[in-house]
Structure 1
């Protein structure tokens, strides 16, 4: 059994009106609710305590001349890329 069209439209309008009133009440409640105004705190790098030791300067052990094997700053055996060798000739 179906209801007449006029009855269905009145029932639909009543339901829509009820839903609109519920929605407006919900909107008002959400608008009046307190919102957090402050941002989350930002943390920065921790500052660790400085140890009570004085600064030390360590000398290099020995002299470069007494190192075995002696340091090679020019590296005569290094060939590098073949292209750079051809350009230097």
Structure 2
């Protein structure tokens, strides 16, 4: 199945690694089309044309996990400074 490009794309050929510029309206081969990851690069698929299956496989939703409440760590206290002893008789 070939799809038509709506925008120009710059890709590397998957085998030769040569840079290729595909123009709007081009219908690239499947190996080149697989390299184009931006869905906005493609023209919209008409309703009567079979399009790619973009639905995600049915997977069960993960069950919510209850987390234990976490107590915040106490703020570190600054060490107390020692005062220099003063001479009482001076």
What TM-score do you get using the length of structure 2 for normalisation? Answer: 0.26
Structure with the greater relative contact order (CA < 8 A, sep ≥ 6): 1 or 2? 2
Higher helix share: 1
TM-score for the superposition, normalised by structure 1? 0.27
Q: Which has the higher strand share?
A: 2
Structure ID, larger Rg: 1
